[in-house]
Amino acid sequence: MSDIFRENEVGNRYAKAIFELARDGGALEAVYKDFATLKALITESADLRRVLGSQAFASDLKLKGLLAVAKKAKLNALTTKALNLMGHKSRLDQLGATIAGFNSLYAAHKGIVTATVTSAVALDDGQLKNLKTELAKALGREADITTLVDPAILGGLKVRVGSRLFDASLKTKLDSLKFALKRA
């Protein structure tokens, strides 16, 4: 599911246009909140993910459903116009990438560092709060954290900040130990 919110070229083009319109129109915070709401809805609803990502549903049906969600969530007019445009261009399958791209632009604009934290099990609220505090200390500014769960890392954490990866996973440590033992 995390692939839904991975940036790509098409999503980034839509994100940049929406970001610039929102910034210039004074609706940046509203659109940011709308995209956070949409991201939460997409994350929570397997049905919504299926509809948006499937080629089996016609674009007009996807748009109709998404606009109903937008109306119920009381999204900003600019956000609704962007969804309309994406729907008419048959690009609603790019909504997750657009949200990711917009969030990156927003973070850069606000001076917020984005970090992706991968753990073997879901982090609880206390752990997440401590991690956010420690990252802020280490980076010298606030960090917007996205969490992923990957049981394959066995334990520990992987933290990606920009192009830097801090890998303190148990799997990596075991692999290093295995490599060292093979060389000995």
**Beta-carbon contacts of residue 107 (< 8 Å; ≥ 6 apart):** 113, 114, 144
Q: Are residues 83 and 25 in the same domain?
A: yes
**Beta-carbon contacts of residue 143 (< 8 Å; ≥ 6 apart):** 112, 113, 114, 115, 132, 135, 136, 161
Q: In angstroms, what CA-CA distances link 150 with 107, 118, 124, 171?
A: 25, 6, 15, 11
Q: Are residues 156 and 77 in the same domain?
A: no
Domain boundary residue among 109, 141, 173? 109
Q: Are residues 12 and 92 in the same domain?
A: yes
Q: Are residues 64 and 96 in the same domain?
A: yes
- For residue range 80-128, what is the model confidence (pLDDT) as tens digits? 999 999 999 999 989 999 999 999 899 889 888 888 889 989 889 999 9
Q: Are residues 76 and 159 in the same domain?
A: no
Domain boundary residue among 53, 80, 109? 109
Residue 39's CATH number: 1.10.520.20
Domain that holds residue 87: 2-109
Q: Are residues 122 and 79 in the same domain?
A: no
Q: Are residues 30 and 105 in the same domain?
A: yes
Q: Are residues 20 and 104 in the same domain?
A: yes
Residue ranges of the chain with pLDDT lower than 50? Answer: 1
**Beta-carbon contacts of residue 104 (< 8 Å; ≥ 6 apart):** 7, 15, 114
Q: Are residues 30 and 58 in the same domain?
A: yes
Q: Are residues 53 and 118 in the same domain?
A: no
Q: For residue 15, what pLDDT is reported? A: 96
Domain boundary residue among 109, 134, 164? 109
Contact 16, 99 (CB under 8 A): no
Would you call 118 helix, strand, or coil by DSSP?
strand
Q: Provide the number of structural domains found in the chain.
A: 2
Q: For residue 1, what pLDDT is reported? A: 45
Q: Are residues 122 and 72 in the same domain?
A: no
Q: Are residues 101 and 126 in the same domain?
A: no
pTM of the prediction?
Answer: 0.71
